[in-house]
Each structure stands twice: as C-alpha cells, then as structure tokens.
Structure 1
Amino acid sequence: MNSRIRVLVVDDSALMRGLLTEMIGAFPDLEVVGAAPDAQAAREMIKALNPDVLTLDVQMPGMDGLVFLERLMRLRPMPVVMVSAYTEAGSDTTLRALELGAVDFIGKPRSDAGQTMEEYAEDLAEKLRAARGARLRTLPLPVAAAPARANVPVNRGGIINKIIFVGASTGGTEAIKHFLSGVPADCPPILIVQHMPESFTASFAKRLDSLSAPRVIEAAGNERVEPGTVYIAPGHSHLRIRRGASGFTTELQSTPPVNRHRPSVDVLFDSAAEVVGRQAVATILTGMGKDGAQGLLRLRQAGARTFGQDEGSCVVYGMPREAFLVGAVEEQCSLADMARKVLAAAGR
C-alpha cells in the first residue's frame, strides 16, 4: 500500500516547479504527482490525480492564487501550503490566504534567506507532512469588531500585575487573531511568538493592529512593556522579557535557533519563568513540533497559570499536545474560550 503523501505543485514558473518537484521528491514519504502552471491546469489535475496536499503560488496568470484558493476551499477543501515571495505585498497576500483557509506558508527559496537549500527542503517537507493531517478550516474564524480605542482609556504607565505570553505555529495567525478579538483595549501586556519569517511579522502585526482593541506592534527591543499593548516577536530574532529598575522591557536576541526556530516560544517562555514567574499567564496555541512545551513547564513550575489549546480547535495539535504530555498545561480549552480563560487568570 502506498502511504506516501501525494503533492501537487502549482506555480507559473517552470524553474520553480522543477525546483520544488526535485526537493519534495527527495523525501521517501513524499511524492509529487503533478506540477501545474496555472489555476486551470491545477483544477484538472486535482480532479485527475486526487492529491493529498497542494503547494500554491499566489501570483499566477489568469485566475490569481487567492481567487483560486477561495473557490477551492468552498468547492473541494484540501490542505494548501502557500509558497510566497519575501515582499510586503507577498506577506499581505499570504496573510489573506491563511484567512481563506490555507494551512501554512513558506517563502520561495532564495540564496539570501539565511538557510541552505537542504534546510529549506526540510522545512517544506515538515510543513507538507503537517498539512496532510491538519484540521481544515473552510470558513474564516468569526472576529468581533474591535471597540474604538478612543473610548477606552489605557494607563500605559500603570502598575503591571500580570503579563500574558502566547506561543503558536501552524494555524497560529488565525488563532492569534481570534484570541485577540476577545481582549479589551486596557488588557495586561501581551507578548507573542508566532513562527514566521522576518519579512512577514511586520505585516502580521499591522494586520492585527487594525483588527484588535489593544495596540499591536512588532517588538523592536528595549521598549517598556506596557498595558494595552501586544508585542509580536520579529521573524529575525528571539524575543525575551527583562526586568529592571524601571519595570519590564523587551529584549531581542540573534542567537542561534532553538527547536529549529527563531523566534522560539521556549526562549520567550524561559525568560518569563525567570523574571515574571507568578505574575505570568501563558498559553500555547495550535502548531506543529514541540517548541514551547518545556518553557511552559518551567513557567508552571515558577507559579504561572498555564493553558493549552485543545485538540478539537487546533489546526495542528502538535505544540499543545507536547506541552500537555510533559505536564506543562494547567488547563486545556477551546480557542473560543481561550481569551476569557486567560484574562480571568490575569484578574480580568
């Protein structure tokens, strides 16, 4: 019985189709069953070849990738991994694709991306494997309209009693968006690590800022941690929290990846366990792998309140599962209940 994951590559560039086909085909558990240059060819190949997973380029002749993806998720839902350009326009389009139901994304291979072709191929293969087993979301998660910030006074220099920490990976962009939709403008400070390349995190923070009641920014390092503000780890650095005479501040580090990730959830959670301790409330959301599990355990051992997203609401029940298995999770709950539970633990 053939248990290999059947992949259809969709890209308008013959060079890129060939490169992706060669990379994917090098793994014994993956098989490229076809390569389509446009949406029309992709439609026919999906019918004829019945692939398990699709890699999809956004920019194609004729019907663009977003229109194709929207129709695909409505008429024939299947796991899709977007292959995106490292540009602001590319990152905005990728975030929209994730809203439409794509499971994950990866940048196009390039020589200046800070990784070898072998490392890129490993990342791609890992994403394809996770996508095959992902829980498909064919409709966007409901997001409540954010209250007008001008109507909610926020004392950014006020006393900080609690700080919230969040880690996520595959499926996390939409999960974080949904989580923040339940957070008020005057919330405790929130620090977030979402596994994402550096050219995408600024667009992600900007997108969240437009949808959320609290202010959302990409962390710059050495800034004071304030109420009513959400700090997104930039894609090029680990995010840590420090404690000094004037209060808590952010710190960025360009040290090597941890658990193959920079930023790493474990790095953020470890720093929180060291300097925030019982004042911390932390949650680990959907994602593949084990990043964050040990850090969440250290937080719980330091007296923090800890939560994990349940299997039923995860796109990929990987990171939350690992955290639960090592005893790091005080309570599992659905994404729909997560903001309420976390805020209650933070005294809100």
Structure 2
Amino acid sequence: MSKPIQVLLTDDSPTMLQVLTRLLSAQPDVSVVGTARDGEEAVALSRSLKPDVITLDVQMPGMDGLGATERIMSESPCRILMVSGAPDTDLSFRALQAGALEVIAKPQGAPEDVARFGVRLLSAIRLLAEVPLVTQRHEGRSTAPALPPGSRVAGFGLTASIGGPTALASLLWLLPRSLPFPLFIAQHITPGFTVGLHRWLSSLSPLPVEIARATEQPRAGTVYLPPDGHHLRVGPQGELVVERASGSTFPSGDLLLASMARAYGVHAAGAVLSGMGEEGAVGLMAIRRAGGLTFAQEPETCLVAGMPEAALRNKATEQVVSPETLATVLRALEGVQLVPSTPGM
C-alpha cells in the first residue's frame, strides 16, 4: 500500500475542523497531519509538516487564504485547495493566480450539505495529490509561429482545467479591444464559481466577458463563458448553444472545439491550455482535420501539463506557445464573418 496522502486542514471554525478531521481520518489513503485556525498558523505548519495537500479557507481573521497562499508558495510550496464560503469572491481566483490548484465551495450548514462537501473534499484531495508539485513558474521560451498566409478565423476556442485561470489571465489582458473575432472559453470549474470567474476575468480583460445565452450570435471582440453547470458549443448556424452538463468534467472543451470545427471549418481555431488529463485533445484534432489552426500551451509554462501534452502526443497540434505568445498570435489573426446558411437551402 502506498503512503497515505498527508493533509493539513485550515478553517477558522473548530467544529468544521473536527468534522473534517473525523471524516478524512476514516479513509485509509488519507492522513490528517495537522489543523490550523488561520493563515499564519497554516503557513507555520506548512513549513514544519510539509504536507502533500493543504486546504485553505478563503476568508479567515487575520491572514486570509490569499495571503496564506502567497506565503506558502514562496516559502514552502505545496498543493493548495481553496475552500470558499462565497463562490463569487475574487479572492478565490486571486489565490489560484498565486499558485493554488483548485477551489471548492463550503457547505451551507445543513448536515446533508456537510456530508456532500466531505465527499467533494475527499475527491479533490485525491485528485490534487496526483498533480506534480510546481515550485517555480517558468517563463515561456516559444516564439510566435508563422501563420499560413491569409489566416482568418471566425472564432477561437480555449479549453483548460487546473492552472487554466492563471493562463487565461496572462492571455486575456494582452489582447486588444478590437479583436476581430469572438473567443470561447471552456474552463473546468466547480459548480457555483462561474460568476466569480466571470467577474475576475472581466476585471483583467480589455475585452467584454459575457455569460453565453442560447441562440445568440457571437460578436467579434467578445469573450464567452458557458453558464454555471452548462456546456457551451457553436451551433450549425453559428449561434451559441448552451446545454446542462452532467458528469464530473464540465464545461467540455472537446464539445466546444468539435462544434467549432463543424460550424467554422477552416476558419476554426483553438488552443488547449494547462490542465490535468486528456480533455480537449479530441476537439482540437477535429479543428485540425477541418483545416483550422490549433495550438497547445508550452508544457513548461503550465501549472499542470497533462492536457497540452495529450494534444501534442495525439498530433492534434504541432504549435507550442506560452499564453503570452498565444496573445501575439491572436493579435496577428484576421477575422472573418461567416453568413449563416438558410435552413433548407
């Protein structure tokens, strides 16, 4: 049997710490090595205990979860899971930008909510324990690839998971207000946090960031996110399609990118950014087979390189770019307005 996952729990509620310690300690593959009541204590214990995973409450008296994340990642890097009682707070996403890996919502207080939270927390801890620990961010070394002459796109899709918010932030703030095509984002996210992601990206991007509405025709120079708990794709007439998601991985990057290949053909373009697993590789291949442009984030610049590496391994793209280099590519691309075909014609 492999060594149990060593976890440091942080919460300003002694009752919550007691409940979570009891729940996690009942699992043979998890060991709670310590508990902390505030950020300062979490920072100190992270140095002495060196756990595999730390859970950090976002809002705590004294040093909050953001401050603790910044200190831990600079002094004793660790896999950090943010636990937020307010899913729409931008503190959660600022903590992700500072190095935290994931964020989940705290229970609202009912016993059944606490039980469901315990299951989600355990699943997240097991997932993050498999993520390679990144102790230093690497600057991108890629140069902007030469684009085929006359490259014109009708829309650009981006899919990401763990580490995606940081990559998206690095990309979006470098884009011009006059981008001549729409951007579509499929960022894997815990239910309840889409509003916070929308607000955070809106504060960083010169482009308007919107929650997609069904049947709407996307506008150039606009960034679209799917509604909370939904997938986003592009319909056959170029319209936005939103549909309720099921399963554990959503929104689906494969679904988004494959729909763009069908709707836009050679004028489709997409990129797979930081994330764990292989999601996005199939959709990116669909764009490549349609003659569109495809890219993968440079693995060295990823918080988790699994998704870009899968896209490269499966030959869905040969173009490797950092988020900053991808911004240069997007600024160089021309847009094209496709005229929807008339049904029955």
| 8 Å Cα contact 1:164-1:280 kept in structure 2 | yes
Matched residue, 2:66? 66
Alignment of 1:4-153 (within 5 A): 4-22=4-22, 24-25=24-25, 29-88=29-88, 91-109=89-107, 111=112, 118=119, 121-130=122-131, 133-136=132-135
Q: Secondary structure at the match of 2:255?
A: helix
Post-superposition CA distance 1:245-266 (Å, at most 9, x none): xxx2211101423xx3121111
Residues 286-325 of structure 1 show CA distances to partners (whole Å, capped at 9, x for unaligned) of 0112211111112211211110012110000111111111
| 2-structure distance, mates of 1:278, 1:26 | 54
**CA-CA distance at 1:58 after TM superposition:** 1.5
1:135·1:314 contact (CA, 8 Å) conserved in 2? Answer: no
In structure 2, the CA distance between the partners of 1:134 and 1:267, relative to structure 1 (3 Å rule), is farther
- 1:320 is aligned, of 287, 298, 308, to 308
Task: Identify the range of structure 1 (58-67 vs 338-347) with the bigger mean alpha-carbon deviation.
Answer: 338-347
Counterpart AA for 2:41: A
Task: Give 1:330 deviation, angstroms.
Answer: 2.9
Which residue does the alignment assign to 1:238? Answer: 231
Q: Secondary structure at the match of 2:193?
A: helix
Structure 1: tracts of 5 or more residues without a match:
142-159
Code of the aligned partner of 1:264: S
CA distance in 2, matches of 1:180, 1:62: 32
Q: Which residue of 2 aligns with 1:250?
A: 240
Residues 29-57 of structure 1 show CA distances to partners (whole Å, capped at 9, x for unaligned) of 54321122223432442233222321111
- How far 1:138 sits from its partner (Å)? 7.1
Give deviations 1:171-219, integer Å, cap 9, x for gaps.
1111101111222112111000111134222222222223222211121
Q: Per the alignment, do residues 230 and 70 of structure 1 end up closer, same or farther by CA in structure 2, a change over 3 Å counting? A: same
Is the contact between residue 101 and residue 137 of structure 1 (CA under 8 Å) also seen in structure 2? no
Separation in 2, partners of 1:28, 1:241: 45
State the Cα distance separating 1:168 from its structure 2 match. Answer: 0.6
Say if 2:250 is the partner of 1:262: yes
SS at match of 1:165: strand
The answer on whether the counterparts of 1:171 and 1:287 sit within 8 Å (CA) in structure 2 is yes
Match of 2:236, SS state, is strand
> Which residue pairs with 1:310 in the alignment?
298
Distance (Å, rounded) in 2 between the aligned partners of 1:161 and 1:66: 38
1:94-118 deviation per Cα after TM superposition (whole angstroms, max 9, x unaligned)? 01212332222222256569x7854
Structure 2 unaligned residues grouped into runs of 5+: 141-151, 337-345
TM-score by length of 2: 0.82
Name the % identity. Answer: 36
How high is the TM-score relative to the length of structure 1? Answer: 0.81
Shift of 1:163: 0.8
Deviates more, 1:323-332 or 1:13-22: 13-22
Distance 1:138 1:331 in 2: 21
Q: Which has the higher contact order (CA 8 A, sep 6+)?
A: 2
Instruction: Summarize the Cα distance change of 1:344–1:120 in structure 2 as closer, same or farther, 3 Å threshold.
Output: same
Output the CA distance in 1 between the equivalents of 2:51 and 2:272.
31
Q: Matched residues in 2 for 1:323 and 1:29: separation?
A: 31
Q: One-letter code of the match for 2:240? A: T
The letter for the 2-side match of 1:176 is: L
| Cα distance in structure 2, aligned partners of 1:255 and 1:201 | 13
In the alignment, is residue 180 of structure 1 matched against residue 179 of structure 2? no
Residue 227 of structure 1 aligns to a residue in which SS? coil
Count of residues in Structure 1 that have an aligned counterpart in Structure 2: 320
Instruction: Give 1:123's aligned amino acid.
Output: A
